[in-house]
Amino acid sequence: MKQCTLQVSRQHDRSLRKAALIAIWALSCVGPARAASPEAAYFAARDAYIAQFEAIAMSEKHQQALDELTKLLRPIIGPVALKGFSAEGTISLTTLGEGDLGFGLLDGLRYSSADDKAYVVVTTEPMLKHWLRDHKDWNGDKYANVPQSVGAALRSEEFYAQAVRIDAAIVRYVALPVTQPAKAKVAFAMLVARTQSDIPPAPDEIIVSLAQGGRVFVVSAPAAVTIDPIPACQKVRQDIEQKLSETFDEKLQADGDAAFLRCFARRAKAHTFFPAATKQAQEIIDALPH
């Protein structure tokens, strides 16, 4: 293994580009047998930027850092053509400041619809696996952490809450029975809602994930069909709310929310919105690049 030494100024005014190049240079010092992959170079540069933004106030340098990371991402992700979405993706990260709201999103490129109501985040399997390792103990003991296998992660609410939106919880109501493409490793779809407090009476969003051809696509789109509350499940909520009005208990509330969601998942298939939502999810999957 080659030995490398380098004296680097730690002054706050050093250029961000220099920091990224130093991180990539350091990876190259391990020699041909352990040459850095493009993904490893990206993560080295990203972590170097994160370390910097712990020490300096965010300014125009923050956007410069995101721009440099975007340049590293584009050849890793490769060309992506998505009908109805922006032709050129932007980096999915919103901040490099650890501790800021939005820190720790899934590394990839984000493509938005013209009305900005739907989006697709595209990453690679190696990058997703790296992100999963980073998030293994992200929540500590307070909340559930993201499963470590790709298949389990893409089926978990915790993944989406941390990967694509972290200012609201993702509530899964029911999985949609989509057909997995022959060459895909994972294809999953579900009806969800986002909340910062109480669970909404019905979902209004479809999330679709597809691992195919070495890339991973995460799609969020408004449900094209109106989804009304299910009366029988609303009754479950009302019964719990009545008990909570008499005496508040966190476990009772959690059990009540779980009972409501089980009811919705069990009864959803009998309602007209279910086949319509499934059809929409399947169309999304079929339109993604092979």
Which one of 45, 76, 107 terminates a domain? 76
**pLDDT at residue 35, as a whole number:** 54
Which residue ranges of the chain lie beneath pLDDT 50? 1-33
**pLDDT at residue 51, as a whole number:** 86
Helix (H, G, I), strand (E, B) or coil at 10: coil
**pLDDT at residue 196, as a whole number:** 85
**pLDDT at residue 40, as a whole number:** 93
**pLDDT at residue 91, as a whole number:** 96
Residues 62 and 175 in one domain: no
Residues 13 and 66 in one domain: yes
**pLDDT at residue 12, as a whole number:** 39
Residues 92 and 126 in one domain: yes
Residues 106 and 207 in one domain: yes
| Domain containing residue 143 | 78-228+273-290
* Number of compact structural domains in the chain: 3
**pLDDT at residue 199, as a whole number:** 93
Which one of 76, 109, 131 terminates a domain? 76
Give which of 129, 135, 91, 286 is closest to 214, Cα–Cα.
Answer: 129
The pTM of this model reads 0.84
Residues 112 and 223 in one domain: yes
Which one of 18, 48, 76 terminates a domain? 76
